[in-house]
Each structure stands twice: as C-alpha cells, then as structure tokens.
Amino acid sequence: MLLGGRYDWASVTYANTYGGSWEACYPNCTGDGTNTNNDDAFSPRAGLLYKLTDFASLYFSYSRSFGINNGVSETGEKFDPEMGEQYEVGAKAEFFQGRLTTTVTYFDLTKRNVLTAHPFLQGVSIAVGEINSRGVELDVSGQLTDNISLIGSYTYDEAIITKNNDGNQGNRYRGVAPHAASLWAKYDSNPGENNGWVLGSGYYVLDEREGDNENFKKLPGYVRIDAMAAYRFKLGKAPLALQFNVQNLFNEQYIEATDNGTNAYPGTPRLFIGSIKMDL
C-alpha cells in the first residue's frame, strides 16, 4: 500500500496590457502596475498492489494534480487552477525467473478547468474546459541473454475534449496520438564488470494525430531512431564511464507540436550528447 500527498503553492505575476492604465487591472493591482494570482492545493495519491502468485500481481492507483492558470477573466478575476484526476488499474508479471517483466495498465485521466474561448467575447478565455484521456499501456523489459537487454512499450490513448465553448466537444485533443510505441535494445560485452563496451539502439514511433482541436488539420506520424555507445573502465581505483548518444540518428524531419494549428514546431534534428561519469 502507498499513501502520499503533495501540497503546492503557486503564484503568477504579470504586467498590465501594454499601453493600458494602472486602473485596468483593478481590483487585483499592486503598486507597480502588475497583477499577481495565488493558488494552492493538496494533491493526494494512493496505490495498492496485491500479489496473486510469486510472479504475478494486480495493482490500483489514484492521484490528483494541480496547475495554476495564467491570465484573468473578462471581469479581472483569476481563473480557477487546472485540476487533474487519474485512475489506473493493471497487472504485472515476471517470466523466466524474473528475467522478463511485463506490465499492462488501463488508465483514465481527466483534466478540468482548462481554458477555452469565451462564447461571446473574442480574445477572452474562461476556465470551463475538460479533457479526458483513457487507454491502455503495455510495457515489456527484460534480459534476453546475459549480454542483451530489451525494453519496449506501446500506448493506445483516446484523448477527447469533453467540455468546452468552441464547438469542439467530442473532438480529439490536439497533439495526442492514438498510438505510440518504442523499442530499445542494448548489448553489454561484459555485464556486471567494471570494464566493457555497451552498444544500444532503438526507435520511437508516433501515429498521426490532430493538429488542432477543430480536427481540421493532421500532424503526420513519424519514426525516430536513437543510438548510443559507451565504454567503462577503471581509472586507478575509480570506475569511469564514457558515453556517446545520438538522438534522431537519421535526422528525420517531423512536426513535434502545434499551437492549435496556427504554428507548427519541428522536432529536434540530429543531436549528439557526450557524457563522462566517475564513481568516487
């Protein structure tokens, strides 16, 4: 059993509209012509895992989240914060004496007080939106041999706008792909020892997804391949590891996200990352 919680205090301070008077933000102004919104919330979480056998378990979890909303309403009042609520239920199993681990999860996440357009006032928002995301996730990880390990995942996610004032209720929420998958394999020449080579590679696949909440524009799916190489040895008595990662190995051009269909943001091009790690 897991019981926990988190308490957040959050504040946002911003200036008045450019060219406006100090009185424009009344009654929430401070002396320097800025506006500050404060919010706080307690977010509990709980989990329960029941072991059916030596190799299989069932679990359930519940959690809440909190995030402050920026801006103010047409009357100068602050928006209620975004509140999230998530339920998960799943099963875990181990095979081949624990060398392979699998997890299947059903999740249901609802986010409330999402900002949506005012039905009558152009350029004004109100916090009445709601988005529900539900689906299934499958994770597999394990040691295929002493030298080769594998980790993979697949997610089906049905993210739907359940409340809003834009006429988009019932549409898919932008940027969330219904299908996503990844698979990563790693080879270790000398597992468990202080010296040896490690080589790894994997891919990340994202399905076609909506580019706007009106569901008029589509973002194409893509496949991104990453790779890494590492060498570990001892420098004196200190274990040392040198690692080199390449993200987007083949420099795939793809669209990462949009701001509701107006502007598109490309994904990161080929990226090289080097690191050195020493245990003292």
Domain assignment of residue 208, yes or no:
yes
| pLDDT value of residue 231 | 96
Count of CB atoms within 10 A of residue 246's CB?
17
| pLDDT value of residue 235 | 86
Domain assignment of residue 4, yes or no:
no
pLDDT per residue as tens digits for the range 153-175 = 999 999 999 988 778 889 999 89
- Rounded to a whole number of angstroms, the CA Rg of the chain reads 24
- Taking a C-beta distance cutoff of 8 angstroms, is the pair 276, 241 a contact? yes
Domain assignment of residue 181, yes or no:
no
Number of domains in the chain: 1
Domain assignment of residue 46, yes or no:
no
pLDDT per residue as tens digits for the range 87-134 = 999 999 999 888 999 999 999 999 998 877 655 556 556 666 899 999
Domain assignment of residue 160, yes or no:
no
| pLDDT value of residue 129 | 85
| pLDDT value of residue 192 | 85
Please enumerate in sequence order all residues whose Cβ is within 8 A of that of 118, keeping only pairs 6 or more positions apart, or say none: 74, 124, 125, 126, 165
Q: Could you tell me the pTM of the whole model?
A: 0.81
The angle subtended at Cα 205 by Cα 204 and Cα 210, nearest 5°, is 130
**CA distance between the termini of the chain:** 36
Rounded-to-integer distance, Cα 246 and Cα 242, Å:
14
- Taking a C-beta distance cutoff of 8 angstroms, is the pair 142, 99 a contact? yes
Reply yes or no: is the peptide bond before residue 27 cis, omega within 30 of 0.
Answer: yes
Token output for 229: 């190489």
Q: Is 156 exposed, middle or buried (0-12, 13-18, 19+ CB in 10 A)?
A: middle
Domain assignment of residue 229, yes or no:
yes
Higher confidence at residue 7 or residue 35?
7
pLDDT per residue as tens digits for the range 183-197 = 999 999 999 888 999
Read off the pLDDT band of 214 (50, 70, 90).
confident
Read off the pLDDT band of 63 (50, 70, 90).
very high
Rounded-to-integer distance, Cα 202 and Cα 223, Å:
10
Helix (H, G, I), strand (E, B) or coil at 24: helix
Domain span at residue 279?
A: 196-214+224-280
| 235-240: average pLDDT | 88
Read off the pLDDT band of 22 (50, 70, 90).
very low
Domain assignment of residue 164, yes or no:
no
| pLDDT value of residue 36 | 73
| pLDDT value of residue 21 | 47
Domain assignment of residue 263, yes or no:
yes
